[in-house]
Structure 1
Amino acid sequence: MPSSIQVLPGFYQWLFVYFEPISAMIAAPMIWIYPGTTWFHHEQIPGVNLPGMASSVSSEVLDPRTVVALWQLGNCYMLVGFIVSLVFRVTGDAFHDNPNAQERIVGAILCALAITDVTHVLSSFIGLPPDIRYNPALWNGITHGNITLTTFLFCARLAWFMGVGRSRFHSGSQRSRESVRSGQKAQ
């Protein structure tokens, strides 16, 4: 693990530098190659293959606009994965001796991701039919990824912002308070 990312210690580094980018990027080949666009389209609403819900996923042909939109979604997943992983790594390398700058950059990225976590979870949850929406036992892997995993990532981002399990280097941090105290002593 890159040890130069001082503001992403241990669990945060594993989660945000490795796990999240891989879990985001894996969706792209799932859409583009296998199991494919039609499968991914139908997995957005779980229960397609439940009794009483007729569907012939393998023989259905999606509208070309839907295919293009899903391929572009795969590209967005890939983009998020690369941006998160590479920017965090470059931030650690470029500012290895400046944890304040690291925290500001990482914080900006995590803030943007937290905002999109909320909109992603809400749109995924609201888009579910009511009989499935309130019954997580009926959710499939895609739904749990969209709602459960994204909610977990949001909570981890909030924990990072609250300083849980890490040193804080920017405003309101221990270092900032110490510099204020030392400045007061000098007066």
Structure 2
Amino acid sequence: MASQLPAFPRFIFTVVEPISLLAGSVPAIIWPDWFISEQLPSSVIPTVATTAGSQVVAQQLGNCYGLLFLLGVAVLYSTTELKVVRNYLVALWIADIGHVVITYLALGHGHSAAVGEWNAMTWGNVGATVFLFLTRTAYFLGLFGPVGKSLASVEKKAQ
């Protein structure tokens, strides 16, 4: 199915996004203390000791990122239906909004606007997510050009 997407969104959704999901998954599972301490820049809250509960939550979040990686690869590389891909991308589009809003609420308006204070994790949580959101939006609006027909519909017409 990935071959049916225009080139730029295909590269973003099938290469960049899966890599970013793994990049979020691995440290959350392997180094939960570091992952937790990096969620907000130190200018927002000082580093505090993590609890066993917060470590489990971070590792579960990492597991969810891993699940999203697997779902993305499964959907984008196995389905022949554009409708399935579109619905998958709509779900991610909605989740992008929630991801940014949750981070914004934790940072507060002042720290959200102080982009120069952001650490790498904040750039991932906000910057990368907004980029993916805008790419999905542009795809939905057809700004990357026409989307190819699904392989299933081409096969049906050939019969």
Q: Does TM, scored on the shorter chain, surpass 0.5?
A: yes
Figure out how many residues of one structure are paired with residues of the other and give that number: 149
2:32/2:58 contact within 8 Å kept: yes
2:19 pairs with 1:31: no
Partner of 2:10: 13
Partner of 2:116: 137
1:7/1:166 contact within 8 Å kept: no
1:27/1:74 contact within 8 Å kept: yes
Tell me the TM-score normalized by structure 2.
0.85
Partner of 1:75: 63
Partner of 2:152: none
Shift of 1:9: 2.3
Shift of 1:139: 0.4
2:5/2:148 contact within 8 Å kept: no
Q: Does 1 or 2 have the higher relative contact order (CA < 8 Å, sep 6+)?
A: 2
Larger Cα-atom Rg: 1
Counterparts in 2 of 1:164 and 1:54: CA distance versus 1, 3 Å: closer
Q: Which consecutive unaligned segments of at least 5 residues does structure 2 have?
A: 150-159
| CA RMSD in angstroms, aligned pairs only | 2.0
1:31/1:37 contact within 8 Å kept: yes
Q: Greater helix percent: which structure?
A: 2
Find the aligned partners of 2:46 and 2:127 in 1 and give their Cα distance. 27
Structure 1 stretches of 4+ with a deviation exceeding 4 A read none
Counterparts in 2 of 1:54 and 1:8: CA distance versus 1, 3 Å: closer
Tell me the TM-score normalized by structure 1.
0.73
Q: Which consecutive unaligned segments of at least 5 residues does structure 1 have?
A: 96-100, 171-187
2:125 pairs with 1:146: yes
Partner of 1:45: 40
Find the aligned partners of 2:91 and 2:23 in 1 and give their Cα distance. 21
**Could you list the per-position Cα deviations for residues 6-61 of structure 1 after superposition, in whole angstroms to 9, with x for gaps in the alignment?**
4312111110011101101121221222xx1111111111026x9xx764x6xx3x
